[in-house]
Structure 1
């Protein structure tokens, strides 16, 4: 499947320095920054610097170095925030892919939510 990457999306603009952000961590292949509309007391986004739309796109086309860097950055951000289960009550990671998942920005990003009880992940519809 071909992925159409929109280089005018907000995260591409952040990566180019056109839009400021509150950086939490930056590596060779990844950038983590505070969400401008936080949904939890701690809400950080982690994005790869490459032009990837979804996690499956990233997994299929990113280099081993990009994948390793990104996964390690997500874990390091959780540790840096002090929200890992050995330090606090934990965190939630979320990534959306496509319209059914309500992906708003067509650039892969993982949300890290923490700092409060987050409830169930989704409400499961009752079977009829």
Structure 2
């Protein structure tokens, strides 16, 4: 029987923790008391948004139920806005747990990508234009807050 490897410990210096602490800038789309949604700076497709809980959780197994529910409700809001702004019916919802699954930032997060799985680009290959990200964040936020 194979052994399960030890889960990664939460690192208070991960990039998402720094964003939540206000230590680094980001293009905010939505925020409430339990979640934060922002533009991915190295998107796999136009309009790629990340949703994170305001809880220190490495992956889904660490997430408290009220934060898990809040993340899903935020995802729903973001997806509805993405469909309007980017004129895409299809939204890829992706969440990776652990390095073997491809997780690179060890703070629980959900990717919402207005694209087709057949058109999806590679992640973390090319930095997006910051002005375009800011504009996209404003367009999404305007729909969510309307």
| Higher strand fraction (1 or 2) | 1
TM-score (norm 2): 0.70
- 1:118 and 1:98, CA in 2 relative to 1: closer, same or farther beyond 3 A? same
Checking the alignment, whether the CA contact within 8 Å between 1:53 and 1:107 is kept in structure 2 is yes
Root-mean-square deviation over aligned CA pairs: 2.0
User: For residues 118 and 95 of structure 2, what CA distance do their matches in structure 1 show?
Assistant: 17
Q: Is residue 106 of structure 1 aligned with residue 106 of structure 2?
A: yes
Secondary structure of 1:42 counterpart: coil
Matched residue of 1:71: which SS?
helix
Output the TM-score relative to the length of structure 1: 0.79
Instruction: Tell me, in whole angstroms, the C-alpha distance in 2 between the residues paired with 1:120 and 1:100.
Output: 23
Distance 1:120 1:90 in 2: 11
Match of 1:124 in 2: none
CA deviation map 1:20-54 (0-9, x unaligned): 11001001100000001011011000000100000
Q: How many pairs does the alignment contain?
A: 113
1:32 to 33, 37, 42: 37
Give ranges in structure 2 of 5+ residues lacking alignment.
1-5, 121-146
- In structure 1, runs of 5+ residues without a counterpart are 122-128
1:69 aligns with 2:75: no
Bigger share in helix: 2
Give distance in 2, aligned partners of 1:56 and 1:40: 28
Task: Check if 1:90 corresponds to 2:95.
Answer: no
- In the alignment, the residues of structure 1 paired with residue 76 and residue 23 of structure 2 have an alpha-carbon distance, to the nearest angstrom, of 27
Deviating 4+ runs (over 4 angstroms)? none
1:17 aligns with 2:40: no
